[in-house]
Amino acid sequence: MFSKRREFSPWMKGAAAALVLFLLLFSGYKGYQIYRDRRVPVPEPGPAPQLPLPEPRPEPVPMRPSEPLPPPVPEDVRAKDLWLHVVKSSYRMYLYRGKNLEGTFPIAVGSNGGQKQRVGDSRTPTGTFTVQQIQNARSWTYDFGDGKGPTPGAYGPWFIRLKTPGWTGIGIHGTHAPESIGTMITQGCVRMYNDDLEKIKRLVYPGMKVIISE
């Protein structure tokens, strides 16, 4: 014997559907609440973190121009003799004891290059010479023809006169214009800083060898 299937009225079906819909909405809302409550709280925005400033770099040190190398020493120098080598192209005078270099001094030379050819050509002669005498030049003056008249101190404290066969008046001396050292500017002499000249004067002697080369 078969039982009869029970039929629900329309209003009961509608109520059941509404209840299901309500339960679905309610469960979704509660799920959202639980999710929201479990979230990690977001911190309030604050000031930007201060990054450490980079350490200042030291200023680069300007490199000095390399000192020019002295020329080869002649083979005929005596082991203990003091002598001088003037090199015009590098504006340097080298002090030697035998083959040992003992000092380097900046200089100025004649305003025209090359070997001296005639009197007044403003060239420094090249060759092997000797010291003729050492003269006190503190009271000496020189007229450069610039309209200023005789200039005191133009030769510095000393004039080391050289014996240069064929030419006179060639020597090693100081200056009233230290900014001229390292240039071609003289009438043919070798010009030095006065302080360097004082050092050289204590060592030079008549007959001392002086080589002047290009």
Do the beta carbons of residue 95 and residue 170 sit within 8 Å? Answer: no
Question: What was the pLDDT predicted at 8?
Answer: 59
Question: What was the pLDDT predicted at 63?
Answer: 47
The single-letter code of the amino acid at 121 is: D
Question: What was the pLDDT predicted at 2?
Answer: 45
Q: Do the strands 190-192 and 171-173 form a parallel or antiparallel pair, or are they unpaired?
A: parallel
Q: What is d(CA 127, CA 114) in angstroms, rounded to the nearest whole number?
A: 12
List C-alpha distances in Å: 138 to 71, 109, 131, 143, 207: 33, 21, 19, 15, 23
Do the beta carbons of residue 85 and residue 70 sit within 8 Å? Answer: yes
Q: Over 70: is that where the pLDDT of 54 sits?
A: no
Q: What pTM was estimated for this model as a whole? A: 0.69
List C-alpha distances in Å: 136 to 109, 155, 161, 197: 21, 10, 11, 12
